[in-house]
Every structure is written in structure tokens, then in C-alpha cells.
């Protein structure tokens, strides 16, 4: 702990060592924004015709020594310059030209003007998020910020997957850190989009201020606060419906029977007639529906001289597009500031979320929907189900839905209380106690039913539930972090120095308890474990988790005349997850605002031009606790003389020297404003190198490890790329204003080392892996046989090298390239065939306001990636349903095909045949609004009324044949946002399309009212 003292004293001396000096007989004044009244910091004030000048301070005030007849010139980036005669007092109101550059961005434990920032930080305003009818702010971020890739699912309450500048980790979790008003979390599904003021994304090494949690980037969310003034009541609501944006066209009855007759004649010959019915079942239609959705928000905000307040309530109801799948969420928020004295401020930001969900086992359901035979009905008029299973097919997915009743009710409290004390005018102390707690109840009930005529139109098969079963789980997670910072902020002459020092500590605790009982009555009021049969299985489980972190943080920013910018930050992090607990992380950055230079004064092209660069080292410790300690597996049952005895085994092999992943990141960029500030843009180049990345190294079985893997820091990989952002806004005439924006990102991901270890594999289909992660290749590259056609006749089969991987060569079967030319087709003939990670992605948007109408459209796109159509490849049985497109294309003796085989079986090995382009373009959001004339609404006491029609995902243009090119692995939803669910299977198996929840399209009507 010696270091902490040294640091604190050093910081203290730094504060004291700095002295300010001022000029005599000054002209004093204040500069504010003409539109908002906000004070403007750092406005350059010069005496015309001289180089003498100063800048406004944090309160927008300035003081300058000038002759009585002098003219003062006020210049500020993004604002029109003004000239004023030197007179006392001088209040200057400046008119903004490019708001973009005036934005204040949140940089972690502080804020900075975007123009002074040396790092790459994306920023999205809350208004842009709130206008989209989506559940999570993350989903609304899609396509908004360059370098940020968001993938989301249509499943209610699912957590989108976010990659900032590529996949930065395999095992440590590749999602970014979220910081909500200072609360560090992995899950922001509790946040109401309407409560958000802005989102800032730390993309480069500036995230090092979050040290061991910053490597995947940081998304900082700031919620709204009240503004000084009379109370404002705002009501925002939308109502609409959701539907599946796309489903797969499967075969009809005749096509299916034709296919079965061809490939599975014996089964069809033995088919019991009562199973079938004359029509064609479209199983997607059977399980999907139009889901009603609505969202209401009401907020009250305002403030007096000594306080501000913002209180909001919202209710979101989302009927899932799958039958029985519902979600609703109620949130309350109270953000208050109170100035206790002129130097002491109290802040409180608290949110309470209650969500209720009826989840479904999406991956199982949609797997079966895809495979269920169209000759069996879903359900008849008497409520009896078609018996797909008796036809040797999958279980009837409608039965799966109807015979289960799942419920999860979750409560979450998130927020903080904070005190700010101005020790000196330029030295502020901030302490905040942040909490995040989740308490949830999960209840899954499975109804009893038999594979008989009581449930099905005809008995048989193995879809049955012999005993009803009730599963109850309660989770309890609690996390706090306590932040203490000292900030020194001083301007003197043209110098501006900000120094931050602080200490934080964090503790996480989690526990769950669950139990299962059988034969609980099928009445929801009786769904308690006590009503189960005590003589049957009564499993109880209870366990938990705990970890702590401790950190020292420091940052210094210096700018000279708004022209030369230097910054650096340092964080020393301690984490309980490793035996070597402490690590150091840092960043340094520099910027040069070229447009402020004298030699740029005369040019007319650039209104603003900045070059910047940063370099730093970040970490990632997002792995399960105690992964370095060998623990025993206890309660292994065995029986002596019929008595149950619990045994123990030690079957792990652990790396005692496990440590965090290390990411070195370089960023170079420039920002500009041209054409009279109407066009602003940003270009970045980055290179992110991850070393000591955690992977699971396979172990020889002789060591007896039960999972046969060893988690260690062995891999390294790299993401490098370019990001481009452009924004244009202008007005034509009085009534027409318009804007357009675009961003474009290029990312190149590759594994650069495995420390002599073996490649990693992922994604199993038909007993073989699909992806391989090896040197020089992107993470999770498909590594499969190269399908080069279809065998047309026996002569071709006889002449071809024998296939030792999966099915034998046959007429109508896929033909594979003998890549290594050894005269046989086997695992050694596989080739790399792309990955799901897009090479290019981004978004663009445009919109206009004409008189009272407004229209806006947001697009999202990616290309240069591939999807593995796993649904098609993973065949459990010849009775599995097939796609209509495949039925028409497949090889038959009467209609030979050179590209599509006659049948795909459970022995068909993964090959390039199943790889398709993952490129797509989507209209994420289209909104048309109308604002009622102010005169009209004022008469009824309303300040503003706007109505709008909006659609989320109106269309997607893609060549992909599956249900959606946007794939995140289906998850069993967990409302427990605090628990890390780290799955390497997810990352190493990415892009393999198997049983995903359909992507949704939303249409809704909404209203915004302000009183």
C-alpha cells in the first residue's frame, strides 16, 4: 500500500506547486451560448490587432487587460466569431454553428469537451436512442457509432452482443464494460431508453481509466437530470405490434412426401396413416404470432436555485412473437442534486426495475420448428396435438410451448449517492457509493402429459412428461463500488490543467438456491415446492460467488490555448480473481488542433481540424472467480450395502499463475469541420494487440482432468482497422432543415499466436467441429471440407478418392476436394472458409424537418462475413423437414443437379456447401412525425405535442437463406444481469446458424407530449 501514499502525496504536491497569475485592471465578462444559456468554457478572447488574449474559465468568465477603445474578438470552435467593444461589464452570447464540437463527453470519472479529447470517443444522444421502439439502449446503438458492432435478437429481454473494434477476447468475455452514472456493470437491460441523456463509447486506450475492465471498450451511460426552471412534465408513449421479419419457407406436404419417398422409402411405407392430414403445416405459422407492444414514459423534471430533480416512471410491455413468450418491465428513476452549501453538493441517482418474463427454451423450440414434418398437424379443433414424434420426427413444438409454464420475476436496484465538495475553487473532492443489486425468482413448471390419445390425435412416440415437475430458483446478487476522486482543474493564461487522482473499491456477491419437486398439482396457485411429492426426486442446490477489486486511478490533461493537448492516465488494479493480484494499466495521448494555428487563419476550407493519437495498455479480468485454485468435486454418489455415500474427487488442473489479458492499443485519428461547419467528420486508424489472452488449452487425457482443458494465458491476437464518420446538417429556407450521417468501419481480426499450443475448435455439427482458430486466421474461422459439386453417376464415384470423413461417396452425394492430394478425403482436406466477423460494417441515417413534419431513417449494414447455415447441415434424421428451396434444387435421378446433393444426413460432414454470405443492409428505423402547431396546443395548456409513426426493421436486404443474417446464439434468458456468463463456446462457435429466434419487425404509433 506504500504506492498509494506516494501517489497521493505526489498529487498533493502537484496541486500546490501550481500557481496562477492574473493581469491588472481587467475588463471582466461572461460568455454563454445564445440558444441554451450554458456557459462556454475556453472561449478565446483577444484584443483585435494584437496577440494578447485569454480564455474563459470553467464558469465562462474572463478577465482581460485592454485599452478603453479596444475591440475584443471572441472566437470559439463551432461558434460564429464576435467582435465587441471593450466595455464593462461584457456579457457575450455566442451563436453555435456546429454543435458536434461543443459536446461534452464523459471520459470516466470526469468529463471533457469533445474538442479537447485526445482519444477516440463515440457519442450518441439519448434522443436518438429513445426514438427507436426497442427494449435496450444497446440495441438502439446499432449502426450509430463507428467501430461498434451490435448484434441483437428478436427474443424479448435478450442481451445484445457488442463488439467494439472486433473480438478482443475468447474466454474473458468480449462484451464491453457498461458504466451507468458510475455503476460498473455488464448488463443494462434495466435501463429505460427515455431516461438516457447520452451514451459515450470509449473505443481506444482512453478506456484504460477502467484498467483491468477496459480492454473491450467502455460504454458510458449518463441519465437525465433536471434543469433549473419550472417543472416540466413529459409523456412519451408508443403502441404497436411486432412480427417475425422473416421465416424460412419449408416444403409443403407434397414436396415432403416426394422427398421421403426418394430418401426414406421404408419409413414412409410403414407410416401409420392417422398421423398425417391432408393439408400442409407451416410450423412457423403454428408457433409465431403478432405480438402487441407498448411503452409508456412519464417524467417530471425541473430545479430551483439549490436543487434539480428528475423523476420518471415507465412501463414496457412486449408480447413476444412466439406464443407464450411475454415480457414486461416497469422502471422508476429519481435523479436529484442538492446544493447543501455553495461548496457541498449531494447527488442521488437511483433506478428501480421490475421485470416479469415468460421465457421459452428458444433454441429447442426453433430447432424443432425447423425440423418438424409438414404432414403432421400442429393442433386440431379439439385441442389435440399432431404427433410428430410418433412419426419418428422431433417433438411437436406447440406441445413444448403449451406444456411448460415459465416465469421469471426480477427486481433490480441500481444507482448511487454522491457528495461533491469544493475544497478549493479548483480542487474538488468527489465520493460516490454505487450499488447494483438483483433479486429474482424463477419458476418453471412442466405439465404432465402422456404420449397417448389424451394429448395427441394419435398416441405413440416419446414426447411425454411422466411426472409434472416444478423448478424454483431464487438469485441474489449484489455489487458495490465506492469511488473517491480528487480533481484539480485550473486555467491560467493559455494553460489548462486537469489532474485527477482517486481510489475505488468493489465487491461482488452472488448466491442462488433452487429446488425441484415432482407431481406438483397443475394449478398455478399451488406452484410451491411444498406441494410436490416428497418421496420422489427433490433436488436442492445452493451455491454462490464472490470477488473483489481495488484500484488507484490517476489522470492528467493539459492543453495550451486549445491548440496542443496532452493527456495521460494510469490505473493500478487489484483483482481477487488471480494469485498475482495487482496490475498496472495506462494510456498516453496527444492532440493538435491545427485549425487554431496562425498559419491556418487564412484558409477557408477547414473550420476545424484536429490530429490526435493515443497509446495505452488495458486489461481484461472478466473470467470466473477462483479459476487459479484447484477445488474438489464433492458429493459424488456411490452405494455401500445399499447406503448412499458421497465421495470426492480432485479432477482439475489449474494454472496457479493465471493473470489478466493484456491489450495494447494504438489509435491515430483526425477530426474536421468544413463547409462552414456544416460537415463534420472523423477518421481513425487503430491497432489493438491482445497478448496473454486466456484460452483453454486441451490436455492429454492421461492427466485425468475431467474437462481435459487447462485455462491459461497463451494466445495473442490482433484487431486493426479504420473508422470513418461523417455528419452533415443544414437548413434551406426557414422551414426546411435536414441532416445526414454515415459511419463505416473496417476491422481485420486475426490470431497471431498460441504460444506453441494447439488450435482451438468450436461449433459441433454432425459430430465434427466447424470452426478452427489458428495462427493467422480470424477467431472462429470456418474450417471445413471444400465441396466442389455433386457426383452425377457411378463412374464419377468410382473414380473419386474415397471419403473417410462421414458418409461414403455416392451418386447424388457431395463431392469434396482432395486438398492435400493424398488420394482420400479426410479431416486433413479441410480448408479455411471465412468467419462471421464482418470486414466492413456501419450505418447511415438521414432525415429532415419541414414545417411541422419530420422524417428520419437509420440504416445498418455489414459485409465481408460468412454464415454457416448449420440448420441445413445438422440433420438428426431423414424425417427432418427440408427447405422448399433445397427441395427444388436437390439432385434427383430425373433432375440431376451439379451443385446440390440429393440428401443431407447426420453423416454429412461440415463443408463449404453450407457457407453463405452474411452481408446485409437493413432499414433499422423509419419514423415520420408531426408536431402540432404551438398556438393550437398552448390553448389547452400543453407546451408541445408530437405524434409519430415508426417502424423498426422495416426491411432487410440479404442473400442469406436462413431466418436472419444477424446471429447471436440463443440463450436461456437470465435476468440476473450481474452474473458473468462467459462462454467460449459462444465466441468460437459464432456465425453457425442453428435454431435462432427470428428477428422482429415492429410497427408502432407514438406520441410525445410536454406540459
Q: Which of residues 234-293 bind another protein (CB under 8 A)?
A: 266-267, 270-272
DSSP 987: H
Residues 631 and 860: their CA atoms lie apart, in Å, by 47
What is the length of the chain?
1011
Asked if 653 touches another protein (CB under 8 A), the answer is yes
Transcribe 532-580 into DSSP letters.
S-TTS---EEEEEEEEEEEEEEEEEEEEETTTEEEEEEEEEEEETTSSS
Asked if 943 touches another protein (CB under 8 A), the answer is no
Q: Which of 61, 340, 423, 732 binds another protein (CB under 8 A)?
A: 423
Asked if 432 touches another protein (CB under 8 A), the answer is no
Tally Cβ neighbours within 10 Å of residue 180: 26
Nearer to another protein, 503 or 997 (CB): 503
Q: Which of 69, 88, 639, 941 binds another protein (CB under 8 A)?
A: 639
3-state secondary structure of 264: coil
Residue 557 cell numbers, joined: 490533461
Q: Which of 127, 605, 827, 985 binds another protein (CB under 8 A)?
A: 827
Asked if 554 touches another protein (CB under 8 A), the answer is no
Which distant-in-sequence residues (6+ apart) come within 8 Å of 668 by Cβ?
A: 612, 613, 684, 685, 686
At its nearest, how many Å lie between another protein and the CB of residue 910?
14
3-state secondary structure of 386: coil
Asked if 801 touches another protein (CB under 8 A), the answer is no
Residues 124 and 199: their CA atoms lie apart, in Å, by 5
Q: Which of 96, 170, 369, 390 binds another protein (CB under 8 A)?
A: 390
Q: Footprint of another protein on residues 684-703 (CB under 8 A)?
A: 698-703
Closest alpha carbon to 397 in 389, 405, 407: 389
x/- letters, 497..516, toward another protein (CB under 8 A) = ------x-x-x---------
How distant, in Å, are the alpha carbons of 67, 81, 552 from that of 4? 50, 46, 7
At its nearest, how many Å lie between another protein and the CB of residue 633?
8
Residues 412 and 187: their CA atoms lie apart, in Å, by 11
Nearer to another protein, 267 or 947 (CB): 267
Transcribe 416-447 into DSSP letters.
EEEEEEESSSSEEEEEEEEEEEEEEEEEEEE-
Closest alpha carbon to 86 in 40, 141, 47: 47
Q: Which of 767, 802, 933, 959 binds another protein (CB under 8 A)?
A: 767
Residue 538 cell numbers, joined: 427433490
Q: Which of 227, 228, 290, 546 binds another protein (CB under 8 A)?
A: 546
At its nearest, how many Å lie between another protein and the CB of residue 685?
38
Asked if 384 touches another protein (CB under 8 A), the answer is no
Asked if 486 touches another protein (CB under 8 A), the answer is yes
- Which one of the spans 278-286, 435-443, 539-547, 961-969 is the region binding another protein (CB under 8 A)? 539-547
x/- letters, 163..192, toward another protein (CB under 8 A) = ------------------------------
At its nearest, how many Å lie between another protein and the CB of residue 751?
18
At its nearest, how many Å lie between another protein and the CB of residue 304?
27
Nearer to another protein, 613 or 619 (CB): 619
Nearer to another protein, 643 or 798 (CB): 643
3-state secondary structure of 263: helix
Q: Locate all alpha helices (DSSP H) within 86-173, ordered by sequence.
A: 126-130, 137-140
How distant, in Å, are the alpha carbons of 528, 745, 771 from that of 863? 50, 11, 19
Residues 556 and 567: their CA atoms lie apart, in Å, by 6
Q: Footprint of another protein on residues 20-49 (CB under 8 A)?
A: none
Q: Which of 35, 95, 536, 936 binds another protein (CB under 8 A)?
A: 536
Positive or negative: CA dihedral 686, 692, 695, 697: positive
Residues 150 and 169: their CA atoms lie apart, in Å, by 16
Residues 804 and 482: their CA atoms lie apart, in Å, by 60
Q: Footprint of another protein on residues 462-481 (CB under 8 A)?
A: 462, 464, 466-467
Asked if 849 touches another protein (CB under 8 A), the answer is no
At its nearest, how many Å lie between another protein and the CB of residue 790?
19
Which distant-in-sequence residues (6+ apart) come within 8 Å of 40 by Cβ?
A: 31, 32, 33, 56, 60, 76, 79, 94, 102
**Contact of 958 with 920, CB cutoff 8 Å:** yes
Asked if 19 touches another protein (CB under 8 A), the answer is no
**Contact of 825 with 785, CB cutoff 8 Å:** yes
Asked if 910 touches another protein (CB under 8 A), the answer is no
Residue 863 cell numbers, joined: 459485409
Q: Footprint of another protein on residues 692-751 (CB under 8 A)?
A: 698-706, 708
φ/ψ of residue 965, rounded to 5: -80, -5
At its nearest, how many Å lie between another protein and the CB of residue 283?
20
Asked if 591 touches another protein (CB under 8 A), the answer is no
Asked if 544 touches another protein (CB under 8 A), the answer is yes
Nearer to another protein, 189 or 659 (CB): 659
Asked if 340 touches another protein (CB under 8 A), the answer is no
Nearer to another protein, 675 or 808 (CB): 808
Asked if 230 touches another protein (CB under 8 A), the answer is no
Q: Which of 52, 476, 484, 755 binds another protein (CB under 8 A)?
A: 484
**Contact of 815 with 787, CB cutoff 8 Å:** yes
Nearer to another protein, 39 or 576 (CB): 576
Asked if 576 touches another protein (CB under 8 A), the answer is yes
x/- letters, 114..143, toward another protein (CB under 8 A) = ------------------------------
Amino acid at each position: 500500500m506504500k504506492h498509494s501514499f506516494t501517489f497521493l502525496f505526489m498529487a498533493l504536491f502537484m496541486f500546490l506547486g501550481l500557481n496562477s497569475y492574473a493581469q491588472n485592471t481587467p475588463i471582466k465578462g461572461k460568455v454563454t451560448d445564445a440558444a441554451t444559456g450554458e456557459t462556454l468554457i475556453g472561449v478565446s478572447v483577444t484584443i483585435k490587432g494584437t496577440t494578447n488574449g485569454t480564455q474563459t474559465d470553467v464558469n465562462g468568465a474572463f478577465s482581460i487587460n485592454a485599452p478603453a477603445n479596444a475591440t475584443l474578438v471572441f472566437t470559439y470552435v463551432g461558434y460564429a466569431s464576435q467582435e465587441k467593444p471593450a466595455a464593462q461589464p461584457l456579457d457575450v452570447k455566442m451563436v453555435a454553428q456546429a454543435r458536434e464540437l461543443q459536446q461534452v463527453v464523459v471520459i470516466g470519472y470526469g468529463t471533457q469537451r469533445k474538442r479537447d479529447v485526445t482519444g477516440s470517443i463515440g457519442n450518441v444522444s439519448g434522443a436518438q436512442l429513445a426514438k427507436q421502439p426497442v427494449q435496450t439502449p444497446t440495441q438502439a446503438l446499432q449502426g450509430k457509432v463507428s467501430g461498434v458492432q451490435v448484434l441483437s435478437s428478436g427474443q424479448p429481454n435478450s442481451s445484445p452482443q457488442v463488439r467494439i473494434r472486433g473480438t478482443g477476447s475468447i474466454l474473458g468475455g468480449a462484451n464491453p464494460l457498461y458504466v451507468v452514472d458510475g455503476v460498473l456493470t455488464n448488463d443494462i437491460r434495466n435501463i429505460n431508453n427515455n431516461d438516457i441523456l447520452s451514451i459515450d463509447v470509449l473505443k481506444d486506450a482512453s478506456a484504460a481509466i477502467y484498467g483491468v475492465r477496459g480492454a473491450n471498450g467502455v460504454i458510458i451511460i449518463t441519465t437525465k437530470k433536471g434543469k433549473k426552471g419550472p417543472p416540466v412534465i413529459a409523456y412519451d408513449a408508443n403502441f404497436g405490434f411486432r412480427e417475425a421479419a422473416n421465416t424460412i419457407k419449408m416444403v409443403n406436404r407434397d414436396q415432403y412426401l416426394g422427398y421421403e419417398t426418394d430418401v426414406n422409402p421404408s419409413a414412409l411405407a410403414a407410416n401409420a396413416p392417422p398421423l398425417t392430414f391432408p393439408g400442409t403445416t407451416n410450423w412457423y405459422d403454428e408457433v409465431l404470432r403478432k405480438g402487441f407492444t407498448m411503452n409508456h414514459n412519464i417524467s417530471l423534471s425541473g430545479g430551483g436555485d439549490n436543487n434539480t430533480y428528475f423523476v420518471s416512471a415507465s412501463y414496457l410491455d412486449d408480447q413476444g412473437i412466439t406464443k407464450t413468450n411475454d415480457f414486461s418491465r416497469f422502471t422508476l428513476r429519481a435523479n436529484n442534486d442538492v446544493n447543501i452549501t455553495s461548496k457541498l453538493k449531494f447527488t442521488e441517482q437511483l433506478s428501480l426495475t421490475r421485470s416479469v418474463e415468460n421465457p421459452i427454451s428458444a433454441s429447442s423450440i426453433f430447432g424443432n420448428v425447423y425440423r418438424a414434418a409438414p404432414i403432421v398437424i400442429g393442433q386440431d379443433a379439439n385441442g389435440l396435438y399432431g404427433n410428430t414424434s410418433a412419426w419418428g420426427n422431433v417433438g411437436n413444438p406447440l406441445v413444448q410451448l403449451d406444456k411448460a409454464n415459465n416465469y421469471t420475476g426480477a427486481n433490480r436496484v441500481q444507482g448511487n449517492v454522491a457528495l461533491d465538495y469544493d475544497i478549493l475553487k479548483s480542487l474538488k473532492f468527489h465520493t460516490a457509493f454505487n450499488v447494483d443489486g438483483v433479486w429474482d425468482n424463477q419458476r418453471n413448471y412442466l405439465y404432465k402429459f402422456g404420449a397417448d390419445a389424451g394429448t395427441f390425435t394419435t398416441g405413440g412416440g416419446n414426447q411425454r412428461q411422466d411426472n409434472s415437475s416444478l423448478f424454483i430458483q431464487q438469485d441474489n446478487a449484489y455489487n458495490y463500488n465506492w469511488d473517491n476522486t480528487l480533481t484539480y482543474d485550473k486555467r491560467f493564461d493559455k494553460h489548462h490543467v486537469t489532474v485527477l487522482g482517486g481510489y475505488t473499491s468493489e465487491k461482488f456477491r452472488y448466491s442462488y438456491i433452487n429446488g425441484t419437486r415432482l407431481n406438483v398439482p397443475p394449478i398455478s396457485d399451488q406452484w410451491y415446492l411444498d406441494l410436490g411429492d416428497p418421496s420422489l426426486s427433490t433436488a436442492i442446490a445452493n451455491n454462490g460467488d464472490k470477488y473483489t477489486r481495488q484500484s488507484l486511478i490517476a489522470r492528467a490533461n493539459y492543453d495550451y490555448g486549445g491548440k496542443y493537448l496532452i493527456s495521460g492516465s494510469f490505473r493500478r488494479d487489484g483483482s481477487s480473481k488471480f494469485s498475482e493480484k495487482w496490475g498496472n494499466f495506462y494510456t498516453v495521448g496527444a492532440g493538435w488542433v491545427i485549425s487554431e494555428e496562425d498559419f491556418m487563419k487564412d484558409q477557408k476550407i477547414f473550420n476545424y481540424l484536429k490530429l490526435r493519437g493515443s497509446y495505452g495498455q488495458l486489461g481484461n479480468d472478466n473470467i470466473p472467480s477462483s479459476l487459479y485454485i484447484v477445488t474438489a468435486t464433492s458429493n459424488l454418489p456411490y452405494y455401500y450395502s445399499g447406503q448412499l455415500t458421497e465421495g470426492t474427487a480432485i479432477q482439475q488442473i489449474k494454472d496457479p499463475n493465471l493473470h489478466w489479458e493484456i491489450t495494447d492499443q494504438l489509435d491515430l485519428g483526425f477530426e474536421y469541420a468544413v463547409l462552414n461547419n456544416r460537415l463534420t467528420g472523423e477518421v481513425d486508424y487503430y491497432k489493438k494487440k491482445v497478448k496473454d489472452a486466456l484460452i483453454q488449452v486441451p490436455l492429454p487425457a492421461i492427466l485425468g482432468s475431467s474437462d481435459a482443458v487447462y485455462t491459461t494465458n497463451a494466445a495473442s491476437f490482433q484487431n486493426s482497422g479504420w473508422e470513418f464518420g461523417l455528419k452533415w446538417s443544414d437548413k434551406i429556407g426557414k422551414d426546411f432543415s435536414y441532416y445526414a450521417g454515415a459511419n463505416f468501419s473496417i476491422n481485420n481480426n486475426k490470431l497471431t499466436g498460441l504460444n506453441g499450443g494447439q488450435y482451438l475448435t468450436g461449433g459441433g455439427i454432425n459430430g465434427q467441429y466447424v470452426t478452427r482458430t489458428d495462427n493467422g486466421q480470424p477467431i472462429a474461422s470456418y474450417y471445413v471440407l471444400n465441396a466442389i459439386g455433386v457426383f452425377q453417376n457411378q463412374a464419377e464415384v468410382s473414380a473419386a478418392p474415397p471419403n473417410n470423413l462421414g458418409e461414403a461417396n455416392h451418386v447424388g452425394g457431395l463431392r469434396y476436394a482432395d486438398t492435400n492430394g493424398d488420394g482420400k478425403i479426410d479431416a486433413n482436406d479441410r480448408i479455411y472458409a471465412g468467419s462471421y466477423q464482418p470486414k466492413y460494417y456501419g450505418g447511415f441515417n438521414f432525415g429532415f424537418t419541414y414545417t411541422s413534419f419530420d422524417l428520419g431513417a437509420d440504416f445498418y449494414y455489414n459485409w465481408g462475413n460468412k454464415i454457416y447455415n448449420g440448420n441445413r447441415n445438422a440433420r438428426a434424421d431423414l424425417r427432418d423437414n427440408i427447405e422448399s428451396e433445397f427441395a427444388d434444387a436437390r439432385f434427383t435421378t430425373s433432375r440431376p443437379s451439379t451443385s446440390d446433393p440429393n440428401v443431407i444426413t447426420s453423416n454429412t460432414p461440415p463443408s463449404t456447401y453450407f457457407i453463405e454470405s452474411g452481408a446485409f443492409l437493413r432499414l433499422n428505423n423509419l419514423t415520420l412525425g408531426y408536431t402540432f402547431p404551438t398556438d393550437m396546443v398552448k390553448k389547452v395548456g400543453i407546451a408541445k405535442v408530437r405524434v409519430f409513426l415508426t417502424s423498426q426493421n422495416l426491411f432487410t436486404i440479404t442473400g442469406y437463406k436462413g431466418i436472419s443474417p444477424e446471429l447471436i446464439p440463443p440463450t436461456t434468458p437470465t435476468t440476473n444481469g450481474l452474473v458473468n456468463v462467459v462462454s467460449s463456446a459462444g465466441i468460437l462457435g459464432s456465425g453457425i446458424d442453428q435454431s435462432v429466434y427470428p428477428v422482429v419487425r415492429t410497427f408502432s404509433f407514438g406520441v410525445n407530449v410536454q406540459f
